[in-house]
Amino acid sequence: MDNPHNMLLHHTSPKNNVSISQLMNQNLDVLYRSENIHVALLDTGSRDIVVSFTSAGGAAHERNLHEFKASLIAAGLSAVFVTDKKLRWFNHEESVEVFNLLEKTVSQYRNAGALGSSMGGSAALLFSNFSSHISRVLSFAPQFSIEPPFIDFDHRYNDIGNNIKHYWPNFAVTPIKSQCHILYGATEWRDLIHGAMFSAANFNPFYLKGAPHEVPAYIKGLEGQVLIKLIDQFFDFSRDLDSHFMRNFFEVTMLETPRLPLLETEEAIWREKIRTPLPLPSAPGGLECLSDEASADQSSIWQHARGATTAEDAQLALTGSIGADYSFHTDFETSPWWQADLMNICEVHEIVVYNRIDQIGFARLAAKLTIEISVDATSWDSVFQKRDDLIFGGADGRPLVWHPATAIGARWIRIRAMQPCYFHLNQIRIYGRPITS
């Protein structure tokens, strides 16, 4: 079989005079709007349609209600975007009414599929149980259930699960199980438990090596427009969808069978290390905290980041107290970075990096990093590289502390991840002395 990553896209929009950029800016037709649920239609002219359910992250921040829009347009597909604005996994009295509306909408097209990630992945599976027209589902990192006791182990969602009225005991009830493909990242142990429950319900989940919970973002960061090609080929309704699709698309080397007990134990130990936020430390004897007067920036910004710009987001790593969560958050990139401008060339004696430690999978993303310096923000020298897989901490009292053998002169300090990932740390401190002459 040819490498799927090298295959051309098969869909073409019948609206030949409409460009992708025009479709991206095209107003969507709102089909349903309430305080709980929002539904909007994008008709590209294609007779194939995909119902895209928004993740909890996209819905919570209301910055990305139309997830997968660019990929669906690039693949030449029409789309319906469905958002649960209250993050209840469609546990609403009106959900059946909405699903009936979606069924009526997709029935007007030649072929229909469903798509989603996390909460959206669960909803895509759920909707397939209400539709006779949905013939395949692509579900990234879905939750098996958010109803106790199934969700009790997962602190990301158990507060929601314990405080809502439940209409769906789980999301594994569908008449087209063989056509529902579930893909998890292999680095988040909670997802592995959800996957194990889907396996027990006769699904066949796959696990992508190195990927976090945000599987679509990870795939989008791979070279070669892999996410677009995956969506294009998965929703090629002219071809049968067999059980080997994921294995053939990603190839065996990219998939793995995770070791759940080890990860679960490791995570439990890790969470015991989280402490109450610490006050900012004082500078070591005879040194100043150069980062106190620095301005910061970063290579990109995550759509749900706390700052509005890269500079505003990056600055949070210099202004807050030391805690367990992230301060800045880049988008998924090949080698994302954060940097500080010390405003003048200084003697740098020590750099302390406080990792986020709220989840071990997130902390692991910063395990391999390099520190680079510059005097002009153009030419950069790497002065330190951490190439091992050992995870360093932060608020638990185990930050990464780097001392050069002798003080180095620099104005810009850049910390760069040495792997494709999101880059998100808690705090960074740079100690040294200004150069006065």
Are 189 and 303 members of one domain? Answer: no
Structural domain tally of the chain?
A: 2
Q: What is the CA radius of gyration of the chain?
A: 23
pLDDT at site 15: 42
Are 232 and 309 members of one domain? Answer: no
Percentage of residues in the chain having pLDDT higher than 90: 60
Q: pTM for the full model?
A: 0.67
Residue 156 lies in a domain: yes
Question: pLDDT tens digit string along 260-295?
Answer: 544 444 555 555 555 555 666 778 888 999 999 999
pLDDT at site 274: 53
Are 32 and 150 members of one domain? Answer: yes
Residue 414 lies in a domain: yes
Q: 3-state class of 12 per DSSP?
A: coil
pLDDT at site 400: 94
Residue 249 lies in a domain: yes
Find out whether 417 and 339 touch, Cβ atoms under 8 Å.
no
Nearest Cα neighbor of 211 from 144, 141, 143 is: 141
- pLDDT of 431 > 60? The answer is yes
pLDDT at site 278: 62
- pLDDT of 333 > 70? The answer is yes
Residue 142 lies in a domain: yes
- List the beta bridge partners of residue 41: 29, 80
Are 180 and 325 members of one domain? Answer: no
216-227: average pLDDT: 89
Nearest Cα neighbor of 371 from 389, 353, 355 is: 353
Are 306 and 353 members of one domain? Answer: yes
Residue 277 lies in a domain: no
Are 157 and 195 members of one domain? Answer: yes
The two tokens of residue 42 are: 């994008």
Range of the domain at 208: 4-265
Residue 271 lies in a domain: no
Q: Which amino acid is at 184?
A: Y
Are 60 and 200 members of one domain? Answer: yes
Other residues' Cβ atoms within 10 Å of the Cβ of residue 46: 24
pLDDT at site 398: 83
Residue with the two structure tokens 């996209």: 58
User: Which CATH number characterizes residue 135's domain?
Assistant: 3.40.50.1820
- pLDDT of 46 > 70? The answer is yes
Nearest Cα neighbor of 102 from 73, 69, 128, 64 is: 128
Find out whether 330 and 298 touch, Cβ atoms under 8 Å.
yes
d(CA 52, CA 363): 30
The two tokens of residue 205 are: 């989940």
Phi-psi category of 94—alpha, beta or left, where left has phi over 0 and alpha has psi -120 to 50?
alpha
Burial (CB < 10 A; 0-12, 13-18, 19+), residue 415, is: buried
pLDDT at site 63: 52
User: Which CATH number characterizes residue 366's domain?
Assistant: 2.60.120.260
Are 245 and 329 members of one domain? Answer: no
Question: pLDDT tens digit string along 121-152?
Answer: 999 999 999 999 999 999 999 999 999 888 88
